[in-house]
């Protein structure tokens, strides 16, 4: 198992723990606002795992967006509730891993879209345009004037 898959699995497990904590009655209805972005992030992380990292380019940024939205929703609630604190800690803990995955995805896509320098054509010298050579126009044959 490579590092990408391990990071995706660890982040997904942290998000799963956050959802489990938010299902407690002590969390109130916070699960309603946090479940969707966490589920989106977990789905993206699962795609990274099952593809052995091949889906990183598309799923990495998607997972990062979901984790950020979930953390934003959790930070609007006072942290005096230990269940909310636990969920926030798990989501925040996954953020570092998911951020690294998204960074790896952007670096990998940049490497594939920028061709290596050896593949660029060598610069060609600029050849100045030459002025056109004037061509003498043929003389028009004039018809003889008619005599009256």
CATH code at position 106? 1.20.120.230
Nearest-angstrom CA–CA distance, 56 and 119: 26
Does residue 133 sit within a domain?
Answer: no
Does residue 119 sit within a domain?
Answer: no
User: How far is the first Cα of the chain from the last one, in angstroms, to the nearest whole number?
Assistant: 109
State which residues form the domain around 24: 3-111
The set of residues, in sequence order, having a beta carbon less than 8 Å from that of 60 and lying 6+ positions away, is 44, 48, 98, 101, 102, 104, 105, 106
pLDDT at 147: 61
Does residue 125 sit within a domain?
Answer: no
The predicted model scores a pTM of 0.70
Is residue 115's pLDDT more than 70? Answer: no
Does residue 24 sit within a domain?
Answer: yes
Does residue 146 sit within a domain?
Answer: no
**Length of the chain, please?**
148
User: Average pLDDT of the chain?
Assistant: 83
pLDDT at 57: 92
Kindly list the distances between the CA atom of residue 140 and the CA atoms of 133, 136, 137, 143, in Å, as whole numbers in the listed order.
21, 12, 9, 9
Q: How many domains does the chain have?
A: 1
Does residue 98 sit within a domain?
Answer: yes
Nearest-angstrom CA–CA distance, 86 and 101: 23
Is residue 47's pLDDT more than 90? Answer: yes
CB 71 within 8 A of CB 95: yes
**Higher pLDDT residue, 129 or 82?**
82
């Amino acid at each position: 198992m490579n590092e990408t898959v391990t990071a995706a699995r660890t982040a997904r497990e942290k998000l799963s723990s956050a959802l489990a904590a938010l299902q407690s009655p002590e969390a109130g209805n916070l699960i309603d606002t946090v479940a969707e972005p966490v589920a989106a992030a977990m789905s993206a992380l699962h795609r990274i795992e099952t593809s052995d990292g091949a889906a990183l380019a598309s799923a990495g940024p998607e997972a990062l967006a979901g984790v950020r939205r979930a953390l934003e929703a959790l930070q609007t609630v006072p942290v005096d509730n230990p269940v909310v604190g636990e969920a926030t800690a798990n989501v925040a803990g996954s953020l570092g891993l998911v951020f690294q995955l998204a960074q790896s995805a952007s670096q990998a896509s940049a490497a594939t879209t920028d061709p290596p320098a050896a593949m660029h054509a060598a610069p060609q010298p600029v050849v100045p345009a030459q002025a056109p050579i004037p061509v003498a126009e043929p003389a028009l044959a004039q018809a003889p004037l008619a005599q009256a």
